[in-house]
Structure 1
């Protein structure tokens, strides 16, 4: 089982003074990448109050690298972006009983254990 829920605020650079033309180009390129993903799950990129946001979520039988690759891609093309991706993957060796969090900040994606939901047994489910 591979369950994930996440969001990204897309920014060109950490300073917060994005060039509108370059940011729109980044968003347009991300739209193309999302369209090529062909996922049946939530992949929603939209502008809200003048800023672009990406929301994603899904629940598949097996792990897919599409969502983690997308997080890494955003880090590379828009290093001012930030966001979180919560993943529960019962096929992840050493992390089968954890909810993992990918944190995107300043062009880097780091991996963490989510202490509020881990260990999944007994916090989320009974043994």
Structure 2
């Protein structure tokens, strides 16, 4: 099982000064094009609330099947397109390197970094009961 939940607040820049007119709309067009490449699996929601764009992603395919790379690639692309963006992507891959733990990928100032999760991990017994001993 491969489960993921992520969000990004999209910001033109990390600067305090106003961005050039039209920059955000251009960036959103580029981000929409990236999202169109994802296909039609899982939750993908990009909307603007009170003038700020937010991206939300979630899904649970049976196996990674390349999804980790696709999702991290998307976070990296959003960071390049709109370098003031920030967000988190939580991933649990029970067949991966950390089968009993969520991993958290952080997007800040155009950079994506990986971190251990202390709130939902270890998945067993935090989220699920252990399997009973086979007799």
TM-score, normalisation: structure 1: 0.93
SS at structure 2 position matched to 1:32: helix
SS at structure 1 position matched to 2:45: strand
Between 16-25 and 44-53, report the one with greater CA deviation: 16-25
TM-score, normalisation: structure 2: 0.88
Take 1:20 and 1:84, find their aligned partners in 2: how far apart are those partners?
28
| Runs of 5+ unmatched residues, structure 1 | none
1:50-65 to 2 correspondences below 5 Å: 50-63=51-64, 64=67, 65=69
Flag the 1:91–1:19 CA change in 2: closer, same or farther, 3 A. farther
The reply to whether residue 68 of structure 1 matches residue 69 of structure 2 is no
4+ residue runs of structure 1 moved beyond 2 angstroms?
A: 16-20
Does the CA-based 8 Å contact 1:11-1:18 persist in structure 2?
Answer: no
Q: Out of 87, 110, 113, which is 1:107 matched to?
A: 110
Pick the structure with greater CA Rg. Answer: 2
Take 2:4 and 2:46, find their aligned partners in 1: how far apart are those partners?
16
Q: Please tell me the root mean square deviation across aligned C-alpha atoms, in Å.
A: 1.2
Take 1:5 and 1:20, find their aligned partners in 2: how far apart are those partners?
32
Does the CA-based 8 Å contact 1:83-1:103 persist in structure 2?
Answer: yes
**Equivalent residue number for residue 95 of structure 2:** 91
Residue 11 (structure 1) shift: 0.9
Residue 58 (structure 1) shift: 0.5
**Equivalent residue number for residue 127 of structure 2:** 124
Residue 122 (structure 1) shift: 1.1
Take 1:62 and 1:18, find their aligned partners in 2: how far apart are those partners?
41
Take 1:20 and 1:125, find their aligned partners in 2: how far apart are those partners?
49
**Count of residue correspondences:** 126
| Runs of 5+ unmatched residues, structure 2 | 131-135
